[in-house]
Amino acid sequence: MKTITLPDELNLNPSLSIGVYNYESNQEISKQQILLNKNTFSFLQEGTKEVFFDNSSYSINNDQFLLMKSGHCLMTEKLSNVAEYYRSVLFFFSNEDVLKFIRKFELSPSDSDTFYSTYSFNYDSFIKRFVDSLLDISKLSKSIQKNILDAKFNEIMLYLIEFKGVNFLYSLISNSDNQNQKFLQIIESNKLNKLTIKELSFLSNMSVSTFKREFEKYFHSSPSKWFQEKRLEHAAFLLKNKSKRPSDIFEDIGYETLSNFIQAFKVKFGVTPKQYQTD
């Protein structure tokens, strides 16, 4: 699968550090490999969006929007049932823009060791007006856009930190130099997501062969066997603690048929899912 590099492939003005793009499509995509060269707000307007990052994943509709850190991610876009197309207003900005903002307003992070690569926010009337204004600005001459977009960047960031604090800002510029820790984080964060080895390799910025070698070094198991074990353990939790029926969960656990799920469950736990549930 071809990797899409954004915003490079959108033909935005390269002289603008901050850019806006009104993205529309009538083609659905599933787990497209995306390399974000800049941090990105995705103000979803029509359709649904799902993203997978190294340490976080979200599925949203057009009641929400995303803030995504630059880096590797997988992205799914589905069309709106009503409008029959997908639309998102993209707002790109660099780490330098974030650092300049932090210095300008003399911000300091609160005590937190947890930084994520993506955040989801709900729309309100202020944000909706903000997005409308971005579209208006995108129609202006390039010479005028720069100064206005700088001001709009400050506006959205000041508004969000009023309600969300500042840690999401520091997440954007945090650099995980510990590649081992980042690799383990990708595995743990996605152990219940139905991602292929190739997709996990992409998130890890590794070849498939390197990914498998690193995986076996840390987990002493093949990826397919380890993920199957974790998903079966999660199935057992759902059966016992959430009163789920086997027919409700087998697809989410990653099995194409109910009979395959029952067979794999019995091999691991020695009893069928129903027997496990009633024990």
At 191, which CATH number?
A: 1.10.10.60
Considering the domain architecture, whether residues 136 and 183 belong to the same structural domain is answered as no
Q: What is the mean pLDDT of residues 5-25?
A: 92
- Lowest-pLDDT range, 59-68, 77-86, 104-113, 146-155? 104-113
Query: Same domain for 25 and 77?
Result: yes
Amino acid identity of 161?
I
- Given 118, 151, 173, the domain boundary residue is 173
Statement to judge: residues 47 and 162 lie in one domain? yes
Report the relative pairing of strands 48-52 and 57-60 from DSSP bridges.
Answer: antiparallel
Pair (55, 128) in one structural domain: yes
Write down the pLDDT at residue 53: 96
Q: Is the dihedral of CA 181, 161, 38, 45 positive or negative?
A: positive
pLDDT tens digits for 199-228? 999 999 999 999 999 999 999 999 999 999
Question: 138: domain CATH number?
Answer: 2.60.120.280
Domain check: are 133 and 15 in the same one?
Answer: yes
CA 77-83-88 angle, 5° bins: 45
Residues 115 and 224 in one domain: no
Kindly state the tokens that stand for 53. 């990052």
* 72-77 mean pLDDT: 98
Query: What's the pLDDT score for residue 83?
Result: 85
Average pLDDT, integer, range 158-174: 93
- Tell me, yes or no, whether 142 and 201 share the same domain: no
pLDDT on residue 201? 97
pLDDT category of residue 15 using cuts at 50, 70 and 90 = confident
- 145 shares its domain with 256: no
Mean pLDDT of 136-161: 94
Out of 115, 142, 173, a domain closes at: 173
E-assigned strand segments in 2-131: 4-6, 19-25, 29-36, 39-46, 48-52, 57-60, 64-68, 71-78, 86-93, 118-122
Do 251 and 148 belong together in one domain? no
Domain boundary among the residues 173, 207, 227 is at: 173
Residue 259: pLDDT band with limits 50, 70, 90? very high
Domain shared by 253 and 271, yes or no: yes
pLDDT in tens, 148-160: 999 999 999 999 9
Domain enclosing residue 14, as ranges: 4-173
Candidate from 51-65, 95-109, 173-187 with smallest mean pLDDT:
173-187
**pTM here?**
0.89
Residue 7 has pLDDT above 70, yes or no: yes
Residue 112 predicted with pLDDT over 80:
no
150 shares its domain with 186:
no
Model confidence band, residue 176 (pLDDT cutoffs 50, 70, 90): low
Same domain, 126 and 234: no
Quote the number of domains for the chain.
Answer: 2
Averaged over 18-44, what is the pLDDT?
Answer: 97
Distance CA 276, CA 269 (A): 8
